[in-house]
Structure 1
Amino acid sequence: MRSSIKSTALAATTAALALGLTACGTSSDPSAASSGGTTDESKPLVIAASPSPHADILNFVKDKLAAKEGLKIEVKEFTDYVLPNTATEQGQVDANFFQHKPYLDDFNKKNSTHIVPVVNVHLEPLGLYSKKAKSLTDIKAGQTVAVPNDPTNEGRALQLLAANKLITLKEGVGTAAKLADITDKKGLEFKELEAATVPRALNDVDAAVINGNYAIEAKLVPAKDALVLEKAEGNPYANLLAVKDGKQNDPRIQKLAKLLNTDEVKKFIEEKYQGSVIPAFGAPAS
């Protein structure tokens, strides 16, 4: 798993914290780390983010919108799905922007963390990609499909395959689907990989289900290159700004949340990503 961060010191510190979380969990009192007095609004707001599109969106806000609100932003880029949350939990960063709520809920449950959503920003449609197949009908029995191995994204990937008749799932499994829930593989084989590495496996498999941000980082254009994409309507996987419980009312967080849902950000997303990333503003689902 590639787990680099642009600050070596922060990476070392946060990796150690991640191991600590895995070994023994964290305090059951979410307010303990957030009750340190009033917020210094002159300090930069440090946000952990995936490089694209999350950091791109944050840097647009930083460069074009933040100064008008008296807000300073520092973006720390992470390339995995664990360290941004452990860094947020332990106060190494003020917030993060890289995940959807089903993943966040699962992470909190498994790691005893206390991270909460603040505002939805965009949807990255999950897609099926191939360097060998030109269409869904080219996906045949005996071929191998790579899928993300984390529970929420694997379930999401399997639902995409089932919706397009490539597999059949047990009734009612929903987004928690796993490989054992496939009732008819239609002759396909599956390779489970850490989400960030799936694009690099495209040459080694017949097809792969890739998260939108990792597809973009791999220079794929989801709206053009995917054999099939998730539909936006009714999709629960909007990516969101998140903080440790207790920091929701930090005035800097409130300013950033407001800016992330502006018409300027909507226009930036639509023009830059041309349908590969879709604005999905509003309050996260409860």
Structure 2
Amino acid sequence: MLLSFRRAHFIVALAITSLGAAAQAQEALRVAASPVPHAEILEFVRPQLKAQGVDLQVKVFNDYVQPNLAVSDKQLDANFFQNRPYLESFTKDRKSDIVEVPNSDVHIEPFGAYSQKIRKTSELREGAVVAIPSDPSNSGRALALLAKQGLIKLKDPSNIKSTARDIVANPKKLVIRELESAQLPRALPDVDLALINTNYALEAKLDPAKDALFIEDGRKSPYANFIASRSDNVSSPAIAKLVAALHTAEVRKFIQDKYKGAVIPAF
């Protein structure tokens, strides 16, 4: 009887040890992300990564600067929130070692214009206040969209890094006001028009398909969002598993079904 008890105890202890070893085998992967849609997409692939031995830990940020700083400072392993023009501008200004993970494009968020004061562009009054993002990559993107609508004319319409100084014609004498991207939805009551990144529009419960007065053609956009990391970590096996998990038919369907055209798969 005592022998049987000891044997049972040994089996239980062995099982507990095995469970502990399995738990320890999970490699933590800490990823910074914007709340919508990035963190939601990451949460969708978390179970798949867990089955592959990767414990995906998502840290949500509400701005575009801290996610890169946190990765650069090695507080986090990677991030998912930005596009190429933004990363190029950031690394140039900050002398950062953040780099794009090769072939990691996940989605495109067509950039849109919103208003609480007008229902169509032709209603924009002379001297109307138009709010655009203050960071160089997104401000250029906003100006290009305004130019495409014929509201302004730029020195070089193909220059995605245009600034307000590159406006050569402004028939309505629009007042361009630059604000931090995250502040744009809250500024809507105070301006005539605001050009807002789709992730912030979605967070503010705006529906790009219904609420945007005009919006980018997402099929012809250089603004795909991708995974980024430090140059010394870009080839880690855990990040490779993350990219593979994000590039599946299931993720494509999740994006299409959940965001209904506001976010477009880029793979």
Q: TM-score, normalised by structure 2?
A: 0.87
The equivalent residue for 1:6 is none
The equivalent residue for 1:196 is 182
The equivalent residue for 1:7 is none
Q: Which runs of 5+ in 2 are unaligned?
A: 1-23
The 2-side partners of 1:209 and 1:185 are apart by 17
Aligned residues: 241
Q: Which runs of at least 4 in structure 1 moved beyond 6 Å after TM superposition?
A: none
The equivalent residue for 2:196 is 210
The amino acid that maps onto 1:151 is P
The equivalent residue for 2:127 is 142
The 2-side partners of 1:242 and 1:267 are apart by 23
Task: Choose the corresponding residue for 2:86, options 78, 100, 103.
Answer: 103
The amino acid that maps onto 1:157 is A
The 2-side partners of 1:234 and 1:147 are apart by 21
The 2-side partners of 1:41 and 1:89 are apart by 26
Percent identity over paired residues = 49
1:96-135 correspondence to structure 2 within 5 Å: 96-118=79-101, 119-135=104-120
Choose between structure 1 and 2: higher helix proportion. 2
Greater Cα radius of gyration, structure 1 or 2: 2
Instruction: After TM superposition, give the deviation of residue 173 of structure 1 in Å.
Output: 5.9
Aligned CA-pair RMSD? 1.3
The 1-side partners of 2:249 and 2:43 are apart by 16
Report whether the alignment pairs 1:43 with 2:48. Answer: no
The amino acid that maps onto 1:197 is Q
Q: Which runs of 5+ in 1 are unaligned?
A: 1-39, 282-286
The 1-side partners of 2:141 and 2:241 are apart by 32
- Residues 128 and 208, structure 1, Cα contact 8 Å, conserved in 2: yes
What is the SS of the residue equivalent to 2:218?
coil
What is the SS of the residue equivalent to 1:91?
coil
The 1-side partners of 2:265 and 2:115 are apart by 26
Instruction: After TM superposition, give the deviation of residue 53 of structure 1 in Å.
Output: 0.5
Instruction: After TM superposition, give the deviation of residue 70 of structure 1 in Å.
Output: 2.3
Tell me: CA distance 1:41–1:105, structure 2 relative to 1, closer, same or farther (3 Å).
Answer: farther
What is the SS of the residue equivalent to 1:104?
helix
Instruction: After TM superposition, give the deviation of residue 41 of structure 1 in Å.
Output: 6.6
The amino acid that maps onto 2:26 is S
The equivalent residue for 1:72 is 55
Q: TM-score, normalised by structure 1?
A: 0.82
- Residues 27 and 53, structure 2, Cα contact 8 Å, conserved in 1: no
The equivalent residue for 2:6 is none
